Structure formats: C-alpha cells, structure tokens
Structure 1
Amino acid sequence: MPAPVDFEELIDRAEAVVGPLVRETPMEESPALSRQLGTPVSIKFESLQETGSFKVRGALFALSEAREEGASRVATCSAGNHGLGLAHAARHFGMPARIYVPGGVDQKKASLLEELGAEVIRSPFQGFDETETWALAEVDRDGIPFISAYDDIQILAGNGGTLMREMRRQQPDLETVVVPVGGGGLSGGMALSADGPIRLVAAQAAASPALALSLARGEAVTRLAAAETLAGGLEGGIGATGFDALRTRVNQVVEVSEPEIRAGVRWTLAEHRYLIEPSSAVAIAAALNSGVQVSGP
C-alpha cells in the first residue's frame, strides 16, 4: 500500500507508546568494518532489547492500537522474535496472546514464549508462509484479531520508524544503512521515515531472497517455498506493505550465502564481543561483502 500521508504522525504515536518501554540501544563504532568499507561504520545492537530484538517495538505499538480499537486478545504467526515481542507486550498490557509457530521453530524460543504467558501452537508445516496461511484460517474461525509480523503499517512505524529516529538522534550525519530484509517490517519503516538514510542497502539470505525476487518481477512475492537457512527470521515472502515502501527506495540488494551468514556471527563475536543471531548477522555478512556500495546512486 502507498505510504500514508500521516506516516510521521504514526511514528509520533508509536514513539509515545514504545519510547518509555524499550531500551535505547547503542550504536557502536566498528573499526574493522570501517577499514573494510573505507568509511566510518557503526553497528546498531538491537539485540540488547529485553526480548533480544527490535521487533518488540512494533509489537508494543500494534498491540496498543488494537486495545484502543477494543481488542481483548490477539494472535500472530512468528518464527520467534515477533512472537516474543508480542508476548512481552501482551503481558505488559494484561492481554492473552496466541502465537502460531512453524513446526521447526527453535524449542528455546517456543519455551520463552510460554514463559511469557503466551499460548503457543506449533504448526504442522515447517515453513513460515504455510504456517501463516494456516494460522490466519484458525484465528478467523476463532474471531481473534491477528497482528502481522511485518505486513502492517503500524508494524512498519513501530519497528523501522521508531528505530530510524533513534539512530538519527544518535548519529545525525548517518548516510547509509545496511539492514536485514525478510518480510519488510523493519526496512519498510526505515524507507518511509523522513529520518531515513540517503542509501538503503537490503541484506538477504540467498536461500530466501523475497525482496530481490519481488524487484525482478515488479510485484511483491508474498509466498515462498520453505527454505533451509540459518536466518530463519528472514525466511519466506515479503509483505505487500513493506515491498511498496521499498520498491523505489532501496538502492542495493546483497544476497549472502549460509557460510557468509555463519562467518558474520563469528566475526561479530570476535570483533565486538556480542553473540547475535544469524538473521541479524545477514547485515554484517553483507557489509563484509566487497560488493556493498556505501555511496553513489
């Protein structure tokens, strides 16, 4: 869908909800990446959020909006981090949450969801897209509002919108952002924000490159066959909302292999002493890739 005229106002509302409830995470200078790319580089460590991911931002805002509209319970489909964010938000607001997870979801994440009080339902399908289709039918039958992990303008404002403003406050001269792209809930919000970067580089797992395929076809590839990838949080299709935001605003797409993703995790641990998950390391892997363009059209 086109960017709403009031997207900045939507970010204002999101910041009012999200700001007091999340951590302002550091942007840490990276001498090694700066040498690699020939320009000053910093890494934004949203892995230091209470739930381990930026996705708590969008979940808090979307759930707050759902409450305002009269919802008493919510559901979602998640490979992990959006589910954790929604479960955390639901506990904060005192609302029941149902989380549908792919059959192959990491058991530790499923257990964390349950510890947060969510009802966890494991899908008979391994892939995210098949699980989401099944989950949508289930919640429609039960009459439960569904909060998408990515294909929702409120999610874009809460995730990419609030994060981009925070990054801009921390680094006013920021020019280029290399961001992992799956469904588009983070990158789409960054692209639509008035505080967005001059250059937006999308990093994708080569095993599930929904954005690259969408750009090639000229339309959102919203469904992909299940793929074997370390970056499970990026597996599957891209949302129509995120793709519409990105299609004319992304400057480059870099696809990285599974060995490169693994190397990105190890590099971050060695250079910055943070153990990040592979979906996040896709951006590191892309930055380590000599093909990333930090300037130009």
Structure 2
Amino acid sequence: MVVPDVPPTEVLALYSFVAVVLVLLVGVPTAFLFRYVRLGTECRRLARRLRLEWPLLFGALLVVGAWFGLLRALGSIPDTDWFLVGSAVFILGVFSLSVAVANADWYRATNLPVSETGFVREGPVQVSGEASPVDAPLTGPVSDEPCLAYAVTVQERRWLPNNHGSSRTEVPIALDSDATTFTVDDGTGPVLVDPAAADVRPTRPSAIVDRDVTVAVDGDESPPDHVSDSFDDLDIGQSTNDRRYREDHIQPGDTVHVVGSCRSVAHGYDRNRVITEAGDAPAFVTTSGDAETVSGSVHRLVRGSAGIGCTLAASGAILTLWLTL
C-alpha cells in the first residue's frame, strides 16, 4: 500500500492562496452578478409559467449527467466546437421534454368530458363557465381592480456590462400571486371552486409572455399609490431605476376553465359540491378561457414541447455520440 506524501506547508499555503483569490476574483463577482440580475427570481418566474417543479428539474439534470457520464465511459470527451453545439442541443431537448412532462397531467385532464356545472358528480371533473366571488374579491396590486386570482411580476431595468461597455436589461425583482374561493356557472347552476391547492394560471398555458395589465414607471417618477402600497407585500422598496409592474388576473365575470376533483361537503357552503385538490383527477388547474380554447392551448404546448424535445435531444445525442466514438 502506497501512502501519498503530504504536501509541504508551502504547497498548502499556495493552494490556500489560490483558493482565496478564486473566491474573491471569481466567486464573489459571480454571486453579486447573479443577485444583481435576480437569476433565481427569473428562474422561478419561468418555472411557474411552465409548471416546472424542482423534482422534475432534478430528474432532467440526472438525465443530462447520466448521458455525459456514458459518453465519458465510452471514450474521451472531444474538445471541439461541434461537441459543444451537440451538448447544447441535447440539453435544450431535455428541457423541452421536461416542459411536456410537467404539463402531461393537465393534458390528460383536458381529455375528461366537460360537465355541466349544475350537475357535476363526485370524482374527476372538467368545467367551464362564468366566475363569481363567494366573498369579497381580492384587489389586484397593479390593476387596483377586483380579482379572483392574480399573478404579479415586477421587473426593473438595470445596467449590465458587455463587449461594447454596458446595456440595459429588465430584471425580475419580485413575484406574487393569490386566489380566492369562487363559483363557476355555465347557466345550469354554480359549482364552488376552492383554489387553495390549485395551480392557478390567469393566462392560457401557451401564452408565456402575455400580460393583462402593465404599469411602466420611469426612475424619476413615483408609481401609483396602490402600487406603492404593495411594496411591503412584494418585499421591494423605492428605486431610481425604471420599472414595469405586470399583472395577470382572473376577474369576476370572466370565463374560466377548471379541472380537478369534485367532492361533496356536509356544511360550510351554500352548495354541497366543491372542486378541490386533485384527488383521483390527473391535475387541479384553474385558468382563464373556455374549455375548447384551454384544451387546444394545452395540447399545443405539450405536443409542441414533446416534438421539439425529441428532435433536439435525439440530434444532440447522435452528434455527441458520433464525435465521442
């Protein structure tokens, strides 16, 4: 058994010095840049839009790691631009497939028969109709209007360095959402929806960048009073930078689409039927729009993501494997 020599004190000191320099010159600026551009907030905003959860993202990371581990076991990783291109294409393909998997439960839920709201039975259901609040509605932080559900994003313009000096980009600095109990009625009678455990999507699933209300405030201006009042809830303060306050919402009287599980309750509501957490249903999602519009949007999102993901992942895998072998 060969016992490795312990590095001398001078070598250990050099290692420590190099580590400290790397932390100060690379780690600290990188951490500051990530905080400055709010990369974590941007990722959370995108994940919320695409219904991507951490277990699924971790699984995608394992798939990517396993593939490159297999390539490493088959041969040495080539140091070429084409291998980098193939790797990027493969990773994008896995990400696109993750979007399809994340929304597959919603896809399956839209295949349920659409029930009349006045005659829903216990179990998995899919209903559409006019939404009405049960109690006092919420107030949208940006729109300052009655809402049954809302999702808010605050974006701030900040300067970022580049090859030409610097440029301005919009950085998400705050996210917020809320929903209240409401009823859905298609004309046959109302059914109660308790969105506490729901995935509430104020916009259609394929409308990733759409916003209902946008308030732009220049750095030398003050935002409207009702927007300023929401600063504490959003955990942001005043700023001299330009900002955009964006809100998606579902308002009383809007047409909404709900998939979930209907249950009977003994007391607490005027009616004894309520759509609540998924239960036996594939998913519990509330979004704006009628059944046909939402179903088509979900199908386009899932099929498009699956098709693009399969094409990119297969192309990237073939290219990286061919270059490795």
TM normalised by structure 2 equals 0.19
For the pair shown, the structure with the greater C-alpha radius of gyration is 2
Higher relative contact order (CA 8 A, sep 6+): 2
More strand by share: 2
TM normalised by structure 1 equals 0.20
More helix by share: 1
